[in-house]
Amino acid sequence: MNDLTPLNVRNAAAQHDASLARRGCPVSDLKDRLRKSGLRPTRQRISLGWLLFAKGDRHITAESLFEEAMRARVPVSLATVYNTLHQFTEVGLLRQLAVDGSKSYFDTNVTDHHHFFVEEDDQLMDMPMEVAVGELPAAPAGMEIARVDVIVRLRRLPG
Amino acid sequence: MNDLTPLNVRNAAAQHDASLARRGCPVSDLKDRLRKSGLRPTRQRISLGWLLFAKGDRHITAESLFEEAMRARVPVSLATVYNTLHQFTEVGLLRQLAVDGSKSYFDTNVTDHHHFFVEEDDQLMDMPMEVAVGELPAAPAGMEIARVDVIVRLRRLPG
DNA sequence: TTACGTGCAAATAATTTGCAGTCCC
DNA sequence: GGGACTGCAAATTATTTGCACGTAA
């Protein structure tokens, strides 16, 4: 593991901006996040984490991430992709979404937000602005609200 | 088909309330609804419709309706239950809900409303009041909103 | 009669699991 | 070195499909 040298070299410059330093070495940042979550930073988890988090907010399925890994020549099994997605979800790195009764989607954006869904092309999009869900009825006795999911289903306009 | 006699008998009393008259013979009412939707009122569709609509608003899965049919000694295959649920959904007698990535739920309440979902026991409930979803962002160009689904996920409070 | 429905069993799709071997700490 | 992790293949779960037979119009 010789990724320590580059970090040391830029130590002085990064002193005033830790996040910049981390941005300089996303792999070691990812390792830290995994370790802090109690997950061993294995080859597969780092590769998948790299694919997931390097390109901004994304909505992926197990199958689509697996294909992406294959294309990137990352050797990983489909079973491990499923395991990794669920482990990442448990520790809060991902959020799982139920949009159609069949496959599960995972969102790399774990902040509070809602979604558009275009059924025709199975496409999920984050909603550009915060949607205020007005007055929710109180949760039944002995219950508390864990999460509110809003999905706005879109249809392509004819013409 | 001798279910006409009871209808005729109460004709006079029902004159001022057609819906009451229909409530008097739900089977023939169901047949009409099916026929109007372009679905042949077959033995299986009538039996399943009876199970679905006789007891007020319900949330069922293919598997749960199949079990219910078995218990009621209604001879029907699981494949037909799936077909029937989807056909009923297409003609607007049911509404399909995606709550968890795995199985599909069907709601006999097709009016606009939202849901509570208790993950621990896979239980779905209609929300008691209309929830106003505030200001939705405009649909992207060339799109229109087909439906808005709100699911409030509940967690059992400890203690 | 005849097209539409249904039952059954086999096919698919998404996901999970068991276990032998591998790798991080 | 030892327990956590991975890969593979087989098992599960939810759902769909093909086709011979049944039945409502």
pLDDT value of position A23: 52
Q: Is the pLDDT assigned to residue B16 strictly greater than 50?
A: no
Name the interface residues of B facing A (CB cutoff 8 Å).
96, 98-104, 116, 118-119, 125, 127-129, 131-137, 139-140, 142-157
Q: Is the pLDDT assigned to residue A6 strictly greater than 60?
A: no
pLDDT value of position B129: 64
pLDDT value of position A84: 98
CB contact under 8 A, B143 and A135: no
pLDDT value of position B40: 95
Q: Is the pLDDT assigned to residue B15 strictly greater than 80?
A: no
At position B45, the amino acid (one-letter code) is R
- CB-neighbour burial class of residue B21 (10 A; exposed 0-12, middle 13-18, buried 19+): middle
Q: Which residues contact A56 (CB under 8 A, 6 or more apart)?
A: A108
Chain A's closest residue to B128, CA to CA, is A137
Helix (H, G, I), strand (E, B) or coil at B29: helix
The secondary structure of chain B in percent helix, strand, coil, rounded to multiples of 5, reads 40, 20, 40
Chain B's closest residue to A128, CA to CA, is B137
The structural domains of chain B, with segments of one domain joined by +, span: 24-154
Rg, C-alpha atoms of chain A: 19
Measured between alpha carbons, how far is residue A98 from residues A58, A65, A140, B151 in Å?
A: 15, 17, 23, 10
Separate counts of helices (H) and strands (E) for chain B? 7, 6
Look up residue A156 and give its two tokens.
């392509």
Task: Give percent of chain A above pLDDT 90.
Answer: 63
Look up residue B120 and give its two tokens.
């621990």
Q: Is the pLDDT assigned to residue B105 strictly greater than 90?
A: yes
Handedness of CA B104, B108, B111, B115 (dihedral sign): negative
Separation CA A13–CA A68 (nearest Å): 35
As a whole number, mean pLDDT of residues B88-114 equals 94
DSSP state of A108: S
CB atoms within 10 A of CB A133: 17
Q: Is the pLDDT assigned to residue B139 strictly greater than 90?
A: no
Q: Is the pLDDT assigned to residue A155 strictly greater than 50?
A: yes
Q: Residue A36: pLDDT band by 50, 70, 90 thresholds?
A: very high
Most confident of A27-31, A140-144, B63-67: B63-67
pLDDT value of position B159: 75
Q: Of A94-98, B28-32, B82-86, where does mean pLDDT reach its minimum?
A: B28-32
Cross-strand partners of B87? none
Q: Using alpha carbons, select from B65, B148, B152, B51 the residue that is nearest to residue B105.
A: B65
What is the tens place of the pLDDT at every residue in B115-129?
999 988 889 999 876
Q: Residue B11: pLDDT band by 50, 70, 90 thresholds?
A: very low
* Mean pLDDT score across all residues of chain A: 83
Q: Which residues contact A94 (CB under 8 A, 6 or more apart)?
A: A52, A85, A88, A106, A107, A108, A110
pLDDT value of position B10: 31
* Cα-Cα end-to-end distance for chain A: 57
Tell me which of A72 and A137 has the higher pLDDT.
A72
CATH 3.40.50.300 fits A24-154, yes or no: no
Is the CB of residue A73 inside 7 Å of nucleic acid strand D? Answer: no
Q: Residue B132: pLDDT band by 50, 70, 90 thresholds?
A: low
pLDDT value of position B121: 87
pLDDT value of position A125: 93
pLDDT value of position B27: 77
Q: Using alpha carbons, select from A72, A27, A25, A63 the residue that is nearest to residue A45.
A: A27
Name the interface residues of A facing B (CB cutoff 8 Å).
96, 98-105, 116, 118-119, 125, 127-129, 131-137, 139-140, 142-157
Separation CA B116–CA A145 (nearest Å): 9
Task: Give percent of chain B above pLDDT 70.
Answer: 81
Helix (H, G, I), strand (E, B) or coil at B131: coil
Q: Is the pLDDT assigned to residue A68 strictly greater than 60?
A: yes
Q: Is the pLDDT assigned to residue A73 strictly greater than 70?
A: yes
Alpha helices in chain B (DSSP H): 4-9, 11-14, 18-24, 26-36, 43-53, 62-71, 78-90
Q: Using alpha carbons, select from B30, B51, B26, B52 the residue that is nearest to residue B41.
A: B30
Q: Residue B13: pLDDT band by 50, 70, 90 thresholds?
A: very low
